[in-house]
Amino acid sequence: MGRYNWFTSQPYPLESPNPSYSDEEYADVDWDSLGFGLMATDYMYITKCCEGQHFEEGQLSRYGNIELSPAAGVLNYGQGLFEGTKAYRKENGRVLLFRPEQNAIRMKIGAERMCMASPSIEHFVHALKQTVLANKRWIPPPGKGSLYLRPLLLGTGPVLGLAPAPEYTFLIYASPVRNYFKEGSAPLNLHVEENFDRASRRGTGNVKTISNYAPVLMAQTTAKKRGFSDVLYLDSATKKNLEEVSSCNIFIAKGKCIATPATNGTILSGITRKSVIEIAGDLGYQVEERAVGVDELIEADEVFCTGTAVGVAPVGSITYQDKR
């Protein structure tokens, strides 16, 4: 793998980049105006497998549309998962991935829940690395953002009656990004949602299925129209405890103690969340994963959100029952 040094635990042998890849250091992008919009890059990774079989090594092809049967499981029954991770360019020219094996593990767990075939951990990480190398010129300069990587696992085989699809596609595309929220690194203003639940007990809130995301759009759009950055969900059973924001986890800090909702089936087990828990413990904080009451917000010294897209984002205000 030559001069590339990855954040992954084990080095992975990678063939030399295809000579047809551009050797330009950077794509022609105004790196200072990056947001979180899709910017098409050069290549995507794609491989398929039949139900009950293993994914074979895939290939990189030019980024572009894919062809699907109208009867594809993902189109009809939402049998799909996605992941999100980032590659960073360092000052010394190295490229780092942030804990990609954790995304691989999460996709595997999600695939079991959704009755889908999934790539092995090694295959997933290898495919990510290939996608990054092929799109290297789209990785922003150090400090100007990152290359967001979007692995997808889709039930692409045709199926009419409700059943697992007969064929699956594992695909990764990439886009350079910077700030997820228009606030940039300014504090977020959250609205506690009481009319809609994000997930229910014994549902799929803990897996990154595509079917968890369209249902939050209504609450999120309404909140944004009212000037909030995003929505904070409560647990559907009691409506008393915090769950998470539409696409990130939440923490409250008080003195040397930080608390975050426990992952017991309804919230996504974020990789940034896990990392913050580990780092905070190392820094001497008492870390609690437990039910966090909405009434604890008022007493907190600080509140922050964590996620691949948002990083670690400070929360400036939370509005609950019209009280800010």
Asked whether the beta carbons of 5 and 94 are under 8 A apart, the reply is: yes
Q: Is 272 in the site for ligand PLP (CB under 6 A)?
A: yes
What's the Cα-to-Cα distance from 200 to each of 159, 234, 271, 294, rounded to whole Å?
A: 27, 10, 21, 17
Q: Is 244 in the site for ligand PLP (CB under 6 A)?
A: yes
Q: Is 249 in the site for ligand PLP (CB under 6 A)?
A: yes
Residue located via tokens 């050069």: 42
- Residue of 144, 208, 239, 274 marked catalytic: 208
How many residues are recorded in the chain?
A: 324
Closer Cβ to ligand PLP, 175 or 306, answer by number: 306
The H or E element spanning position 190 is strand 188-193
Three-state secondary structure call for residue 211: helix
Beta carbons within 8 Å of 214's beta carbon, 6+ residues apart: none
Closer Cβ to ligand PLP, 135 or 266, answer by number: 266
From 11-19, 63-71, 184-192, 302-310, give the range in contact with ligand PLP by CB under 6 A: 302-310
Asked whether the beta carbons of 67 and 55 are under 8 A apart, the reply is: no
Of positions 268, 280, 315, 318, contacts ligand PLP by CB under 6 A:
268
Radius of gyration of the chain (CA): 20
Q: Is 308 in the site for ligand PLP (CB under 6 A)?
A: yes
Asked whether the beta carbons of 305 and 298 are under 8 A apart, the reply is: no
Q: How far is the CB of 247 from ligand PLP (least distance, A)?
A: 4
CA-nearest of 99, 141, 135 to 269 is 99
Of positions 72, 74, 171, 248, contacts ligand PLP by CB under 6 A:
248
Determine the Cα–Cα distance for residues 128 and 121; give it in Å rounded to an integer. Answer: 11
Closer Cβ to ligand PLP, 140 or 205, answer by number: 205
From 46-54, 110-118, 267-275, 316-324, give the range in contact with ligand PLP by CB under 6 A: 267-275
Strand partners, 193: 233
Of positions 41, 131, 220, 247, contacts ligand PLP by CB under 6 A:
247
Q: How far is the CB of 295 from ligand PLP (least distance, A)?
A: 22
Q: How far is the CB of 123 from ligand PLP (least distance, A)?
A: 20
Closer Cβ to ligand PLP, 60 or 102, answer by number: 102
Closer Cβ to ligand PLP, 103 or 137, answer by number: 103
Strands (E), 24-104: 43-50, 59-62, 80-82, 85-89, 95-97
Is 208 an active-site residue? yes
Asked whether the beta carbons of 309 and 246 are under 8 A apart, the reply is: no
Determine the Cα–Cα distance for residues 290 and 263; give it in Å rounded to an integer. Answer: 8
Q: Is 84 in the site for ligand PLP (CB under 6 A)?
A: yes
Q: Is 294 in the site for ligand PLP (CB under 6 A)?
A: no
Three-state secondary structure call for residue 73: helix
Instruction: Tell me the number of residues near ligand PLP by CB under 6 A.
Output: 13
Closer Cβ to ligand PLP, 116 or 271, answer by number: 271
Q: Which amino acid is present at 193?
A: E
Q: How far is the CB of 160 from ligand PLP (least distance, A)?
A: 30
- Which residues are at the interface with ligand PLP (CB under 6 A)? 84, 244, 247-249, 268, 270-273, 306-308
Give me the active site residues, please: 208
